Amino acid sequence: MKPVAYIETSVVSYLTARPSRSTVAAAYREITRAWWRGAPGRFDLVASALVISEAGAGDPVAARSRLSALDGVVILDATAESEALARRLLEAGAVPRRAGDDAAHIAIAAVNNVDYLVTWNFRHIANAAMRSRIEDVCRQAGYEPPVVCTPGELREYGGEDN
């Protein structure tokens, strides 16, 4: 059985992004593309209806590209349990109140026993200063939190994607 990886919206955004002059954005794009090439063979990929909504927003051409990239990814629904956990994350200050969607991504992944939450969102999700609070709230609610990481942290090494 393969581990399950939740694809947060920032990942699909970098995956389908146009080339950028920003060296950081260009690096994230290339790391994401390298990871994505091997990801379906190594992980069961999931996202959520929230990811679909976020990916479908904005420029129509870019939105179509993002949504197309998500074809074949299992879509998880928000449930009463994930909504309750998201509220707990916000109420505990583990995720800022203004970042309700980020709390929802974490909660949907935790409630569905996802192994990895893959993201480039360092502000509210992959944030070392917030990680222990997020994990504590999830565990206090009876859920094991997913490992929050970037595509680069889940890359295989020793092959062409070094």
Tell me what the mean pLDDT of segment 40-52 comes to: 97
Position 155 scores a pLDDT of: 79
Look at the chain and report how many structural domains it folds into.
1
| Residue 162, in any domain of the structure | no
Calpha distance 21→55 (Å, rounded): 22
Q: For residue 96, is pLDDT > 90? A: yes
Residue 129 lies in a domain: yes
Q: What is the mean pLDDT of residues 43-51?
A: 97
To 5 degrees, how large is the angle CA 135–CA 136–CA 140?
120
Average pLDDT of span 96-122: 97
As a whole number of angstroms, the distance between CA 84 and CA 1 comes to 29
Confidence tier at 158 by pLDDT (50, 70, 90): very low
Mean pLDDT computed over every residue of the chain: 94
pLDDT at 18 over 90: yes
The domain that contains 72 carries what CATH number?
3.40.50.1010
Asked whether residue 61 is domain-assigned, the answer is yes
Instruction: With CA atoms as reference, report the closest residue to 134 among 99, 96, 95, 102.
Output: 95
Q: State the maximum Cα–Cα separation within the chain, in Å, rounded to a whole number.
A: 44
Asked if residue 159 belongs to a domain, the reply is: no
Distances (CA, A) of 39 to 10, 82, 97, 100, 128: 16, 25, 32, 28, 24
Domain that includes residue 122, residue range: 4-154
Q: What is the pLDDT of residues 68-89, one digit of tens each?
A: 999 999 999 999 999 999 999 9
> Is the pLDDT assigned to residue 157 strictly greater than 90?
no
**Length of the chain measured in residues:** 162
Domain-located, residue 121: yes
Q: What is the pLDDT of residue 156?
A: 67
Residue type, 38: G
* 51 belongs to a structural domain: yes
- Of all residues in the chain, the percent with pLDDT exceeding 70 is 96
